[in-house]
Each structure stands twice: as C-alpha cells, then as structure tokens.
Amino acid sequence: MPYPYSDLREFLEDLKKEGELAEVDAEVDWNLEVGAITRRLSEMGMGRSVKAGGTPAVIFNKIKGYPDYRICAVTHSNVKRVAMMSGHPDPDKATLDDLQDIFLEAMDNPIKPVVVSKKDAPCKENKVFGDDCNLYDLPAPMIHDGDGGRYLCTFHLVSQKDPDTGWTNWGMYRAMIHDRRTMGGIMIPYQQGPSLYFEKYEPRNEPMPFAIAIAPDPLSLFYATCPVPAGVSEMDVIGGARKKPLEVVQCETCDLLVPASSEIVIEGVIPPKVRVHEGPFGEYTGYRASGRALQPVYVVKAITYRNNPILTMSNMGVPVDDCDIACGIGWAAKYKRDLQRDNVPVKSVNVMPEASTNLLVISTKTPYPRMAQRIMATVFTNPVSQFISSFLIVNEDVDVFDPVKVLHALVTRVHPENGVHVYHQTGNPLAPYGSLEERLSLTAPQILYDGTWPVDWPKLNVPPLSSFKTIYPEETQNKVLKRWKEYGLK
C-alpha cells in the first residue's frame, strides 16, 4: 500500500485492488443520473466495507457531453477507505475511535508543506485565464432534483488567507455555478473561511482571493472537513498525517497554495458587498432545508487542470455518506481533545454517522452533579456544534459507537423532565426542524439528553443493565462461551 498517496489516482488504484472501487464505463448523465447512483451507493453501503456487505466507491469514466472528464464519488464513506488513506495498519479492522486517534496524532505532529515549482505540478498541465474560463466546461453534476443549480464544489477544498497574520485556512464549503465565471456558496458565519471574508476582507472593502482544489489527494480532502483550530494550517496537519510534507504549488493569480497533485484548481476573488441567490441544496442533515438565499460570489480568474481530469463530488443526504464519516471523525476527535483539556473524565466520543452527524454522544465518568451541562460548556466552544442538533451524554458503560446501544440508552436513561435541556446557541441554518425564520436568523434551538445516572442516587437505585456481559457471573459467561459450539450454536 503506497502510503501516503501522492494523488487521488494512486488511491483509486489501491481501492481497486481492495475491491473498494467500481468503475462505470457505461455513459452516464451529469444531470441527476450520477447523483441518483451515488445516493443509492451511500444508502446501500451504510458505512460498511465491501467485505462487510457495503458498497464501493465509484468512478464514472464516460460522462455525457464531457468526453475528457471523469467523476469520482463515495470515496470517504466508510471507515475502511478512510483508514487506508490514513495509513492505518489494518484497515479491515479499523474503528472510528482509531481514526480519531490518528487525527489527533497528526494535529500534535504537524509538518510544513514543500512548495514545488509550477512546472513540476500536475495541476498546471492545462491553464485557462480570464474570459476564456467557462465553468460549464467542467462536468458539474445536478446532484439532487430540486437543487438550486449544478454544484461544482461538493468535495474539494477552499483555500484562503488571513490578511493580517498570513495564516492559510482550508475548508470544504459547497458552491454552485451561477454562470461561466461565477459561483455561489453558503457562507456560514463562524466557519473559518467565511469568517475571514465577513470579518476581515469585506469590512475593508477588499476582495478575498480564493483557490478551490477539486480532487486533491484523499487526505487533503479529509482534512478540509476537519475542525483544525484557527491559526493552524490544514497543510501542516496533513503533513503530520502523511508523516511527510505535502507538495503544494502557488496559484497563478494570487499567492495561495494548493496541493500540486489536484485534478482541477479554480482561482479568483470573492468581491466585497456582492450577493447573488444560492441554493437550495440537499444537505448533510438528510433534507433540503436551506432555502434560496443571498450569498457572496466566487469570481473566477483562472482554471488549471490535469490531463483527463477527475472531478470529486459528494452526494449528501440520509446516512451514511462521505460527510457523515469524514466530518464525524474530525469533529469527534476535536471534542475529545477539548474535553480532556478541560479535565472532563471523557471515555469516548462519537458524532454518529448513522444520524447524519446530527447526534453527538459522549461517555464519561460522573464524579460531580451536572456533568452533562459541564460537558456542554466545552462542547459549545467548538463552532461546529452549530451543525449538531442533539447531544447525548451517558455513563462510561455505554458503547457510543454502537447505534443500538445508543438508542437503548437514549430511551431508558433520559428522564423526560430532568434530563432534557434546550439550548439557544448559534443555530444551524440547515436545521430541518427549525422554522424558516429560525434557520435564516441562526436561532434554531438544540437539545441535550442527559443520560447519566444522577450522582445523588444511592447506588442501589441504579437499575442493573440486563445484558449477557453484565447480568451473569463471569464463571457462567465463560462456561457458556466455551460450550457454545457444543450446543450446536454458531
């Protein structure tokens, strides 16, 4: 396994060897057909590896009307594929917990990128400038019926720079085509890229340079979805994850850096005080809940691309898709780190892929009363909490990675009067349950389910869990396990 992968193509080769990639040679239509196929793959896969009954990632080799292009999708939607790109020693046995640890290790051991010359950068094989740029030359899919347009950027990274400190941020923020040279995307306040625009460039009446890398190496895509803190560059953390510097190259029209192996790079500026209607879009919550709203505009100055380029996309919707796995890992790891920083005796954290990342489950010891509220104080220091509707805190005996155990704890341990708390923090503009007004004004509330046993209950008041592992003496368990086959059971 050639870890780290130098580009997406190397990763796809390896996926193929592992039976984790399907190649579609039949001609497919960018208009809904590619979307419907990738949606079905996500829903049938449910986050499982192919060996475990899941579905493969996919590359479409023949797109109607776009003979020179390919589209690749569903690459990050199971643990095995993310484990492969992360250099996990045994991807078949990898867990979400392992991948969280790998993320934290990378954050702790950053390595700066190397800047390669433009002539050595595959993404510079072809260049188009100014009025020659035409976004419709790229096979942007119409992903869901009802989307506001063709979304070119749904699995990519957007690079922008803090004009004061020089810090470069990479994040993944959706964008759809408006016309040949402009795109629009939902710019959510408190996300790092949008914050630089809203808080720094626009108040100074300056355009914000941007660079969008579509289909860089798989780890760069993964880290663009991760909550890397402000002031820390994703490029350095990716170097840490690769255990070797990432090769980046300078843009043609500004000094931003992008992965040199990217299949397609779009450069330009987001001008101040310009807004055009964007959306709606079928989102990660599993609903098309964002309306059509006025958003800033990406104005394209240059497009560079590799020969026979691949466009990466994601098809967000009901579980389990790329966003559910990729965002879930990074967000959970960051929560775990923050809780440890704040002396919370946290055991495990899961942003549940099976709940489209809308449920954060934390298991912990409860030495003090109101532990769940204490935990929420830390949770809300992370701006991505805005994207999670529900929070469940449980004692450490609950396996937060097992959806059945989590559901059981939710309905048996949360007191309907004492255990349910409504929070009014910055709300999610995409919250399906929010009224239109709540979504637009970022005021949709969130809910905490406190599933911890009250610390002031006498021990005997806590009902014992009636499970094989907890209700039988160890001696009986061992006897039964030893004789299992003898009983004629499998």
Ligand X SMILES: Cc1cc2nc3c(=O)[nH]c(=O)nc-3n(C[C@H](O)[C@H](O)[C@H](O)COP(=O)(O)O)c2cc1C
Query: Cα–Cα distance between 396 and 453 in angstroms, integer?
Result: 11
Dihedral angle computed from the Cα positions of residues 320, 61, 7 and 329, in that order, rounded to the nearest 10 degrees: 0
Burial 289-308 (b: 16+ CB within 10 A, else e): bbeebebbbbbbbbbbbbee
Binding-residue pattern over the window 310 to 339 for ligand X, x denoting contact by CB under 6 A: ----x-x-----xx--xx------------
Give me the phi and psi of 310, to 5 degrees please. -105, 135
Query: Cα–Cα distance between 20 and 14 in angstroms, integer?
Result: 8
Out of ligand X, Mn ion, none, what residue 314 binds, judged by CB under 5 to 8 A for its kind, is: ligand X
Q: Which is nearer to Mn ion, 67 or 229 (CB)?
A: 229
Q: Which is nearer to Mn ion, 192 or 452 (CB)?
A: 192
CA distance readout (Å), 347 to 6, 336, 344, 367, 401: 35, 8, 9, 13, 12
> Backbone dihedral region of 74: left (phi > 0), alpha (psi from -120 to 50 degrees) or beta?
left
Sign of CA dihedral 464, 466, 470, 475: positive
Residue 429 makes contact with ligand X by CB under 6 A: no
Restricted to residues 148-167, the positions that interact with ligand X (CB under 6 A) are: 154-155
From the list 220-228, 290-298, 323-331, 341-349, the region that binds Mn ion by CB under 5 A is: 220-228
Binding test (CB under 6 A) with ligand X, winner from 188, 213, 361, 409: 188
Out of Mn ion, ligand X, none, what residue 246 binds, judged by CB under 5 to 8 A for its kind, is: none
Binding test (CB under 5 A) with Mn ion, winner from 28, 34, 143, 228: 228
Q: Which is nearer to Mn ion, 162 or 252 (CB)?
A: 162
Q: Are 245 and 233 in contact (CB under 8 A)?
A: no
* Nearest Cα residue to 247 out of 263, 259, 257, 262: 259
Q: Which is nearer to ligand X, 75 or 261 (CB)?
A: 75
> Backbone dihedral region of 176: left (phi > 0), alpha (psi from -120 to 50 degrees) or beta?
beta
Looking up tokens 């208009």 gives 31
Restricted to residues 173-192, the positions that interact with Mn ion (CB under 5 A) are: 192
Q: How near is the Cβ of 212 to ligand X at its closest, in Å?
A: 12
Helix (H) or strand (E) holding 235: helix 234-242
Residues that bind Mn ion (rule: CB under 5 A) add up to a total of 4
Restricted to residues 209-238, the positions that interact with ligand X (CB under 6 A) are: 225-227
Residue 366 makes contact with ligand X by CB under 6 A: no
Out of Mn ion, ligand X, none, what residue 79 binds, judged by CB under 5 to 8 A for its kind, is: none
Helix, strand, or coil (residue 397): coil
Q: Which is nearer to ligand X, 225 or 358 (CB)?
A: 225
Clarify whether 437 is annotated catalytic: no
Q: Which is nearer to ligand X, 237 or 406 (CB)?
A: 237
Residue 191 makes contact with ligand X by CB under 6 A: yes
Query: Cα–Cα distance between 378 and 372 in angstroms, integer?
Result: 10
Q: Which is nearer to Mn ion, 93 or 112 (CB)?
A: 112
Q: Which of 283, 474, 475, 486 is catalytic?
A: 283
Q: How near is the Cβ of 331 to Mn ion at its closest, in Å?
A: 12
Beta-carbon contacts of 40 under 8 Å, excluding residues fewer than 6 positions away, are none
Residue 169 makes contact with ligand X by CB under 6 A: yes
Point out the residue whose Cβ comes nearest to Mn ion: 192
Helix, strand, or coil (residue 419): coil
Q: How many helices, marked H, and strands, marked E, lie in the chain?
A: 13, 23
DSSP state of 312: E
Q: Are 187 and 295 in contact (CB under 8 A)?
A: yes
Point out the residue whose Cβ comes nearest to ligand X: 171
Q: What angle do CA 292, 170, 277 make, to 5 degrees?
A: 15
Residue 169 makes contact with Mn ion by CB under 5 A: yes
From the list 124-132, 188-196, 211-219, 345-353, the region that binds ligand X by CB under 6 A is: 188-196
Residue 285 makes contact with ligand X by CB under 6 A: no
Query: Cα–Cα distance between 303 and 214 in angstroms, integer?
Result: 11
Residues that bind ligand X (rule: CB under 6 A) add up to a total of 23
From the list 61-69, 113-121, 180-188, 247-255, the region that binds ligand X by CB under 6 A is: 180-188
Residue 410 makes contact with ligand X by CB under 6 A: no
Q: Which is nearer to ligand X, 226 or 269 (CB)?
A: 226
Binding site for Mn ion (CB under 5 A): 169, 171, 192, 228
- Where in the sequence numbering do the catalytic residues fall? 283
Binding site for ligand X (CB under 6 A): 154-155, 169, 171-174, 185-186, 188, 191-193, 225-227, 314, 316, 322-323, 326-327, 384
